[in-house]
């Protein structure tokens, strides 16, 4: 068995970004318990061709490489900032360019950030249905963090600790534990 690849995409152009910071935090937590290779991207990494692409073939090489990595991931971590109660349009457009069959059955970690707790349902009302359309396997535990959960673009609130533990438990059926006999592909 080779090391599973965890790919994260944060739907933000801002740098620094709380959405990317949350994805980095979760990825680091996963790395303490499970054997994974990881890659994290944001919309800056996808680049400007995303906005003008009507079809996946219209993406430049940089954007196409990110989309290919998302599709090839063993586990996907998606993070969305919340704008007016939903995910940003370019974040959605990125997934519009992916054939639904390419994400079928793929385990997906759902995360989102927003200015306050009133946006917390973005995960259940926006992200879970989106990945349900793809036939992806959204993990039961999703993580939402608001401004109060960050200090200097780092996760700094203990209020989400139990959610992080639940998420790590959800991954036990998806990822091998560290030292669990992983063989590196040659």
Enumerate the domain spans of the chain. 5-173
Instruction: Encode pLDDT of 122-160 as tens digits.
Output: 999 999 999 999 999 999 999 999 999 999 999 998 888
Handedness of CA 24, 141, 103, 43 (dihedral sign): negative
What 3-state class would DSSP assign to 18? helix
25 closest CA partner among 112, 154, 114? 154
**Bigger pLDDT: 165 vs 2:** 165
CA distance 151 to 1: 39
CA distance 107 to 77: 9
CATH 3.40.50.360 given to domain 5-173: yes
| pTM as predicted | 0.93
Residue entry with tokens 């996963």: 30
The answer to whether the beta carbons of residues 157 and 148 sit under 8 Å apart is yes
Instruction: Encode pLDDT of 36-48 as tens digits.
Output: 999 999 999 999 9
Q: What is the pLDDT of residue 180?
A: 61
Q: What is the CA radius of gyration of the chain?
A: 16
């Amino acid at each position: 068995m080779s090391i599973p690849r965890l790919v994260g995409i944060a739907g933000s152009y801002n740098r620094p970004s709380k959405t990317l910071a949350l994805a980095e935090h979760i990825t680091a937590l996963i790395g303490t318990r499970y054997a994974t290779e990881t890659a994290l991207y944001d919309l800056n990494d996808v680049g400007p061709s995303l906005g003008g692409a009507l079809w996946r073939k219209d993406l430049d090489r940089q954007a196409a490489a990110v989309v290919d990595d998302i599709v090839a991931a063993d586990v996907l971590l998606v993070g969305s900032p919340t704008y007016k109660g939903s995910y940003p349009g370019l974040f959605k457009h990125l997934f519009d360019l992916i054939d639904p069959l390419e994400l079928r059955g793929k385990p997906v970690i759902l995360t989102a950030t927003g200015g306050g707790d009133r946006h917390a349902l973005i995960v259940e009302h926006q992200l879970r249905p989106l990945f349900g359309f793809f036939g992806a396997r959204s993990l039961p535990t999703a993580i939402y963090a608001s401004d109060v959960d960050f200090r200097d673009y780092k996760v700094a609130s203990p209020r989400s600790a139990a959610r992080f533990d639940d998420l790590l438990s959800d991954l036990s059926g998806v990822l091998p534990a560290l030292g669990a006999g992983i063989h590196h592909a040659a």
